Structure 1
Amino acid sequence: MQAATGAPRGRRPGAGRPKTGKPNPIDVHVGSRVRLRRTLLGMSQEKLGEAIGLTFQQVQKYERGANRIGASRLFDLSRVLDVPVSFFFDDMPADAAAARVDDEDETAGGEERATGGYEPDPMAKRETLELVRAYYKINDPSVRKRLFELTKAVANAAVADAAE
């Protein structure tokens, strides 16, 4: 049933996500943390979806921040992924935390402000996660340490080259 204003009952007109076409940085961050934990556990989107009663496409949308994760779903995710709910908000960049969902400037053509220049955490990238998993598959600690030292040396050389 709808109220006289035409809006669904219990919601004020204009409430919710601004129509910028871009996900809220907080939703993106929470989704990236879901992806991070799922990947670290070696769990597929399909397996996670089955565990919480969703399709893998819905999990994809959550992980991209395209769909918001409600409180009860976040609680389910925390149980399946074996982390506290607070894990999903850890390491949130200040600009994402400061983003306001109902900021009127965002709906008035401020698309750049809608994302706040937000860049996802490099630690949540698939490449990083695969690299970490491969690194820890190396059983010999001395080989792992040599690889670690080699990687640091290459990175330091790249920084030195860029500074010249």
Structure 2
Amino acid sequence: MVKQITAVDLHVGQRVRLQRKCRGLTQTQLGEAVGVSFQQIAVYERGINRIGASRLEQIAKTLGVAASFFYQTDVGDPEQSEHAAETMRATEEGYDLIIAFLRIRHPRLRRIVIGFVEELADAETR
């Protein structure tokens, strides 16, 4: 029988990966901190293996969040939310965009990027 990856396991694993990356940790570093191999962290992050409650608590403590963080799916309207940065960083694309944006040193270029992204967002709502 082939094991099915559940949507919950995949979501929790993605949240682990994103928070790990935001904290600047490698899979090896996180694995060492919680007592598993980097391969096991990779398996968790892909949602292939379910993370047990006590292990999830260890991961949460290491990453500086509550265990409930990994289950959050709705943090509100990104334009109205106090959690806009968390909403953005909760996706891999958002995280990549933040990292790339922070590499732009000139304020004028940053404003151009913001204007471009706003235009794209406005065009999508038309």
With the shorter chain as reference, the TM-score category is: 0.7 to 0.9
Q: Are residue 124 (structure 1) and residue 106 (structure 2) matched?
A: no
Equivalent in the alignment of 1:148? 114
Q: Distance in 1 between matches of 2:63 and 2:69?
A: 10
Structure 2 residue runs without a partner (length 5+): 75-88
RMSD: 2.4
**Structure 1, unaligned runs of 5 or more:** 1-18, 93-121
TM-superposition CA deviations, 1:97-145 (whole Å, max 9, x none): xxxxxxxxxxxxxxxxxxxxxxxxx9432x4322212213445555433
**Which residue is 1:135 aligned to?**
101
Shift of 1:28: 0.9
> Whose radius of gyration is greater, 1 or 2?
1
TM-score (norm 2): 0.74
2:66 corresponds to which residue?
A: 84
C-alpha distance after superposition, 1:85-106 (max 9, x if no partner)? 11011116xxxxxxxxxxxxxx
Contact in 1 for aligned 2:15/2:90 (Cα 8 Å): no
Identity %: 39
Partners of 1:85 and 1:123 lie apart in 2 by 15
Give deviations 1:66-94, integer Å, cap 9, x for gaps.
111111111110111001111011116xx
Report deviation, 1:25.
Answer: 1.2
Q: Normalising by structure 1, what TM-score?
A: 0.58
Aligned residue-pair number? 112
SS in 2 for 1:50: helix
Query: Which stretch of structure 1 is more off in the superposition, 79-88 or 140-149?
Result: 140-149
Bigger RCO of structures 1 and 2 (CA < 8 A, at least 6 apart): 1
1:68 aligns with 2:21: no
Please state which structure has a larger fraction of its residues in helix. Answer: 2
Does 1:38 find its partner at 2:20? yes
Name 1:104's counterpart in structure 2.
none
State the distance in 1 between where 2:42 and 2:121 align. Answer: 32
Q: Which residue of 1 aligns with 2:36?
A: 54
Structure 1 runs of 4+ off > 6 angstroms?
none
Q: 1 CA distance for matches of 2:46 and 2:96?
A: 18
